[in-house]
Structure 1
Amino acid sequence: MKTKDMSVLIVVILIVSMMIIPLPTLLLDFLLIFNISISLLILLVAMNTKEALDFSIFPTALLITTLFRLALNVSTTRSILSKADGGEVIETFGSFVIGGNPVVGFVVFLILVVIQFIVITKGSERVAEVAARFTLDAMPGKQMSIDADMNAGLITEQEARERRRKIEQESDFYGAMDGASKFVKGDAIAGIVILIINVIGGFIIGMSIHGMGFAEAASTFTLLSVGDGLVSQVPALLISTATGITVTRAASDGSLGSDIMRQIFHYPKLLYVVAATILVLGIFTPIGLFLTLPVAGILAFSAYTMKKSMQKEELQQEQLEQSATEEDIRSPEKVINLLQLDPLELEIGYGLIPLADQNQGGDILDRIVMIRRQFAVELGLVIPTIRIRDNLQLPPNQYVLKFRGSKIASGEVYLDHFLAMNQGEDTSSIEGIRVIEPAFGLPAIWVNMEEKQKAELMGYMIVDPPSVIATHLTEVLKRYAYELLRREETKELIENLKGSHPNLVEELVPNLMSVGDIQKVLQNLLREQISIRDLATIFETLADYAVYTKDPRVLTEYVRQSLTRQITEQYAENGVIQVLTAGATLEKGISDAIQQTESGSFYLSMDPQTSRKITEELQNEINRVIRAGGQPIFLTSPSIRMYLKQFVDKIMPAVPVLAYNELEPDVEIQSIGVVNI
Structure 2
Amino acid sequence: MSLQRLTQIGVPIGIVMIVVMLVVPLPAVVLDMLIAANIAGALLVLLTAMSVTRPLDFAAFPALLLVMTLFRLALNVSATRLVLLDGYAGKVIETFGHFVVGGSLIVGLIIFVILLIIQFVVITKGAERVAEVGARFTLDAMPGKQMAIDADLNSGLIDEDEARRRRQEVHAEADFYGAMDGASKFVKGDAIAAILITVVNLIGGMAIGLAQLGMSPGDAVSTYSLLTVGDGLVSQIPALLLSVATGLVVTRSAAESDMGTDIVKQITGNKNALQIAGFGAMALCLIPGLPKIPFLLVGGVMLLFSARAGREEPAAVEATEQVAELPAADHPEQLAEEIQVDPLGLELAADMIDLVDQAHGGDLLQRVKALRRKIAGDLGVVVPLVRTRDNLELPSRTYAIKLFDIEVARGEAPPGTILAIGDFLGSLPGEATREPVFGLEAKWIPAELRAQAELSGATVVERSAVITTHLSQIVTTYAARLLGREDVRLLTDVVKRTHPNVVDELTPALLSLGEVQRVLQQLLEEGIAIRDLVRIYEALSLKAAQTKDVDALVDAARTSLGPAVVAPYVAGGTVHVLSFDPVFEQRLLESLRHGEQGATLVLDPVTAQTIIGGLAQQLVQAENHNIRPVLVCAPQLRAAVRRLVRPAIDRLAVLAYPELTGTAQVRSVGVVGGERNPVLTGEQHAAATAPVPAPTSVAMGA
TM-score (norm 1): 0.57
Please give the alpha-carbon distance, in whole angstroms, between the structure 2 residues aligned to 1:70 and 1:160.
Answer: 43
Q: Which residue of 2 aligns with 1:393?
A: none
Please give the alpha-carbon distance, in whole angstroms, between the structure 2 residues aligned to 1:300 and 1:285.
Answer: 23
Q: How does 1:111-130 map to 2 (within 5 A)?
A: 111-130=114-133
Q: What are the ranges of 5 or more consecutive residues in structure 1 without an aligned counterpart?
A: 326-337, 339-344, 389-409, 419-466, 491-513, 532-556, 561-566, 584-611, 643-670
8 A Cα contact 1:50 1:251, kept in partner: yes
Q: How does 1:463-478 map to 2 (within 5 A)?
A: 475-476=479-480
Q: How does 1:320-469 map to 2 (within 5 A)?
A: 348=340, 374-376=371-373, 379=376, 385=385
Q: Aligned in 2, Cα 1:79/1:469: closer, same or farther, shift over 3 Å?
A: same
1:515 shift after superposition: 9.4
Q: Aligned in 2, Cα 1:122/1:238: closer, same or farther, shift over 3 Å?
A: same
1:279 shift after superposition: 1.6
Please give the alpha-carbon distance, in whole angstroms, between the structure 1 residues aligned to 2:25 and 2:212.
Answer: 19
Identity fraction in percent: 38
8 A Cα contact 2:97 2:226, kept in partner: yes
Q: Which residue of 1 aligns with 2:8?
A: 5
Please give the alpha-carbon distance, in whole angstroms, between the structure 1 residues aligned to 2:37 and 2:692.
Answer: 91
1:133 shift after superposition: 0.7
8 A Cα contact 2:634 2:656, kept in partner: no
- Of 2, 22, 25, the residue aligned with 1:22 is 25
8 A Cα contact 1:579 1:632, kept in partner: no
Give the SS at the match of 2:215.
Answer: coil
- Of 233, 242, 248, the residue aligned with 1:239 is 242
Deviations 1:634-665 (A, max 9, x none): 899999779xxxxxxxxxxxxxxxxxxxxxxx
Q: Which amino acid aligns with 1:133?
A: R
Give the SS at the match of 2:25.
Answer: coil
Q: Aligned in 2, Cα 1:11/1:152: closer, same or farther, shift over 3 Å?
A: same
1:289 shift after superposition: 2.8
Q: Which residue of 2 aligns with 1:615?
A: 635
Q: Aligned in 2, Cα 1:527/1:268: closer, same or farther, shift over 3 Å?
A: farther
8 A Cα contact 1:79 1:86, kept in partner: yes
Q: Which residue of 2 aligns with 1:632?
A: 653
Q: Which residue of 1 aligns with 2:166?
A: 163
1:105 aligned onto 2:108: yes
Deviations 1:29-87 (A, max 9, x none): 00000011111111111111111101111111111111111111111111111111110
1:182 aligned onto 2:203: no
Please give the alpha-carbon distance, in whole angstroms, between the structure 2 residues aligned to 1:226 and 1:261.
Answer: 37
- Of 229, 232, 240, the residue aligned with 2:232 is 229
- Of 78, 96, 118, the residue aligned with 1:93 is 96
1:384 shift after superposition: 6.3
1:302 aligned onto 2:305: yes
Please give the alpha-carbon distance, in whole angstroms, between the structure 1 residues aligned to 2:48 and 2:281.
Answer: 35
Deviations 1:384-425 (A, max 9, x none): 65899xxxxxxxxxxxxxxxxxxxxx979599x99xxxxxxx
Please give the alpha-carbon distance, in whole angstroms, between the structure 2 residues aligned to 1:616 and 1:485.
Answer: 32
Please give the alpha-carbon distance, in whole angstroms, between the structure 2 residues aligned to 1:122 and 1:179.
Answer: 13
8 A Cα contact 1:581 1:635, kept in partner: no
- Of 276, 279, 294, the residue aligned with 2:279 is 276
Q: Which amino acid aligns with 2:144?
A: G
Q: Which amino acid aligns with 1:258?
A: T
Q: Which residue of 2 aligns with 1:660?
A: none
Deviations 1:91-124 (A, max 9, x none): 1111111111111111111111111111111111
Q: How does 1:29-108 map to 2 (within 5 A)?
A: 29-108=32-111
8 A Cα contact 1:153 1:387, kept in partner: no
Deviations 1:223-281 (A, max 9, x none): 11111111111111000100001001111111111111122222111111111111221
1:201 aligned onto 2:221: no
8 A Cα contact 1:581 1:636, kept in partner: no
TM-score (norm 2): 0.55
Number of equivalent positions: 468
Deviations 1:182-220 (A, max 9, x none): 000000011111111111111122223333222111111
Q: What are the ranges of 5 or more consecutive residues in structure 2 without an aligned counterpart?
A: 328-332, 357-363, 389-402, 411-470, 503-519, 533-560, 580-631, 664-689, 697-702
Give the SS at the match of 1:23.
Answer: coil
8 A Cα contact 2:52 2:258, kept in partner: yes
1:621 shift after superposition: 8.9
Please give the alpha-carbon distance, in whole angstroms, between the structure 2 residues aligned to 1:69 and 1:204.
Answer: 25
Larger-Rg structure: 2
1:134 aligned onto 2:131: no
Deviations 1:593-624 (A, max 9, x none): xxxxxxxxxxxxxxxxxxx9973486699789
Q: Aligned in 2, Cα 1:636/1:479: closer, same or farther, shift over 3 Å?
A: farther
Give the SS at the match of 2:312.
Answer: helix
1:267 aligned onto 2:270: yes
Please give the alpha-carbon distance, in whole angstroms, between the structure 2 residues aligned to 1:22 and 1:636.
Answer: 101
Greater Cα offset, 209-218 or 377-386: 377-386
8 A Cα contact 1:90 1:231, kept in partner: yes
Q: How does 1:420-569 map to 2 (within 5 A)?
A: 475-476=479-480, 528=529
